[in-house]
Chain A
Amino acid sequence: MYKFRTQGYNGYSVKYSPFLDSKIACAASANFGLVGNGRLYVLDLTPNGIVQNIAFDTQDGLFDLAWSELHENQIVVAGGDGAIRLFDITLKDFPIKSWKEHTREVFSVNWNMVDKTTFCSSSWDGSIKIWAPNRPQSLRTLLPPSPITPSCTYQALYSPHDPTLLASVDSSGHLRLWDLRRPNPMVVDINAHLGAEALTLDWNKYRPGVIATGSVDRSIRIWDIRQSRDGVSASLSPINELLGHEYAVRKVSWSPHRGDVLLSASYDMTARVWTDRSATEAMFRPRARIPAISRSSTMNVISTHTEFVVGCDWSLWGAPGWAATCAWDETVLVFDTNSLPRLNN
Chain B
Amino acid sequence: MDRLQSISNQIQANPTSAKERLFEKSPDDVVFVAAYRSAFTKGRKGAFKDTDAADLLQQLLKTLVERTKIDPSIIGDIVVGNVSNVGSGATEFRAAALAAGIPYTVPLMSVNRQCSSGLMSVIQIAREIQTGQIDVGIAAGAESMSKSWGKPTTPFSKELISNPEAQKCTIPMGITSENVAAKYHISRADQDAFAASSYQKAEKAQKAGLFKDEIVPITAEVKDKDGNTQKVTVTQDEGIRPGVTAESLSKIRPAFKKDGSTHAGNASQVSDGAAVTLMVRRSVAEKLGLPIIGKFIDGLSVGVPPEIMGIGPAAAIPVLLKKHDLQPNDVDIYEINEAFASQALYSVRHVGIDESRVNPKGGAIAFGHPLGCTGTRQFATLFPELRRTGKKIGVTSMCIGTGMGAASLVVAE
Residues of A within 8 A of B (CB): 32-35, 80, 105, 124, 152, 193-197, 199, 216-219, 235-237, 243, 247-248, 267, 285-289, 291-294
Instruction: State in angstroms the CA–CA spacing of A218 and B1 once bound together.
Output: 24
List, in ascending order, chain A residues with CB within 8 A of B325's CB. 243, 292-293
Whether A196 lies near B323 (C-beta < 8 A) is no
| A150, chain B: closest CB distance, angstroms | 15
Whether B324 lies near A289 (C-beta < 8 A) is no
Q: Write the chain B residue with the least CB distance to A290.
A: B130
Q: Which of A33, A216, A237 contacts B28 (CB 8 A)?
A: A237
30 chain-A/chain-B pairs, Cβ below 8 angstroms? A32-B7, A34-B1, A35-B3, A80-B3, A124-B6, A194-B20, A196-B14, A196-B15, A197-B10, A199-B10, A217-B15, A219-B16, A236-B26, A236-B27, A237-B28, A247-B11, A248-B11, A267-B11, A285-B131, A285-B132, A286-B131, A287-B131, A289-B29, A289-B130, A291-B297, A291-B323, A292-B323, A292-B324, A293-B323, A293-B325
Q: Write the chain B residue with the least CB distance to A234.
A: B27
Contacts of B6-52 to chain A: CB distance below 8 A:
6-7, 9-12, 14-16, 20-21, 24-29
Q: Write the chain A residue with the least CB distance to B300.
A: A294
Instruction: State in angstroms the CA–CA spacing of A305 and B121 once bound together.
Output: 49
Whether B130 lies near A287 (C-beta < 8 A) is yes
Q: Nearest 6 A-B pairs (CB), nearest first?
A: A287-B132, A237-B26, A217-B16, A196-B15, A248-B10, A196-B16
Whether B6 lies near A194 (C-beta < 8 A) is no
Instruction: State in angstroms the CA–CA spacing of A319 and B98 once bound together.
Output: 63
List, in ascending order, chain B residues with CB within 8 A of A32's CB. 7
Instruction: State in angstroms the CA–CA spacing of A216 and B14 once bound together.
Output: 7
Whether B16 lies near A195 (C-beta < 8 A) is yes
Q: Which of A194, A216, A236, A287 contacts B10 (CB 8 A)?
A: A216
Q: At the interface, yes or no: B208 with Cβ under 8 Å from chain A?
A: no
Contacts of B290-310 to chain A: CB distance below 8 A:
297-298
Instruction: State in angstroms the CA–CA spacing of A128 and B24 once bound together.
Output: 29
Instruction: State in angstroms the CA–CA spacing of A215 and B29 once bound together.
Output: 22
Q: At the interface, yes or no: B288 with Cβ under 8 Å from chain A?
A: no
Whether A152 lies near B6 (C-beta < 8 A) is yes
List, in ascending order, chain B residues with CB within 8 A of A124's CB. 2, 6
Whether A235 lies near B26 (C-beta < 8 A) is yes
Whether B27 lies near A267 (C-beta < 8 A) is no
List, in ascending order, chain A residues with CB within 8 A of B11's CB. 247-248, 267
Instruction: State in angstroms the CA–CA spacing of A236 and B26 once bound together.
Output: 7
A105-B28 contact given A247-B11, A285-B131, A293-B325, CB 8 Å threshold: no
List, in ascending order, chain A residues with CB within 8 A of B24's CB. 194
Q: Write the chain A residue with the least CB distance to B281.
A: A287
A289-B15 contact given A152-B6, A197-B10, CB 8 Å threshold: no
Q: Write the chain A residue with the least CB distance to B130.
A: A289
A235-B131 contact given A152-B6, A196-B15, A247-B11, CB 8 Å threshold: no
| B11, chain A: closest CB distance, angstroms | 5
List, in ascending order, chain A residues with CB within 8 A of B131's CB. 285-288
| A67, chain B: closest CB distance, angstroms | 25
| B76, chain A: closest CB distance, angstroms | 13
Whether B1 lies near A216 (C-beta < 8 A) is no
Instruction: State in angstroms the CA–CA spacing of A197 and B15 once bound together.
Output: 9
Instruction: State in angstroms the CA–CA spacing of A148 and B25 once bound together.
Output: 21
Instruction: State in angstroms the CA–CA spacing of A285 and B133 once bound together.
Output: 9
| B325, chain A: closest CB distance, angstroms | 7
Instruction: State in angstroms the CA–CA spacing of A119 and B6 once bound together.
Output: 26
List, in ascending order, chain B residues with CB within 8 A of A267's CB. 10-11
| A242, chain B: closest CB distance, angstroms | 14
List, in ascending order, chain B residues with CB within 8 A of A236's CB. 26-27
Instruction: State in angstroms the CA–CA spacing of A199 and B6 once bound together.
Output: 11
Instruction: State in angstroms the CA–CA spacing of A152 and B3 once bound together.
Output: 11
Whether B26 lies near A288 (C-beta < 8 A) is no
0/1 string, B304-335, CB within 8 A of A gives 1: 00000000000000000001110000000000
Q: Write the chain B residue with the least CB distance to A284.
A: B131
Whether A292 lies near B21 (C-beta < 8 A) is yes
List, in ascending order, chain A residues with CB within 8 A of B298's CB. 291
List, in ascending order, chain A residues with CB within 8 A of B130's CB. 287-289
| B317, chain A: closest CB distance, angstroms | 16
List, in ascending order, chain B residues with CB within 8 A of A285's CB. 131-132
Q: Write the chain A residue with the least CB distance to B23.
A: A194
0/1 string, B327-363, CB within 8 A of A gives 1: 0000000000000000000000000000000000000
| B104, chain A: closest CB distance, angstroms | 27
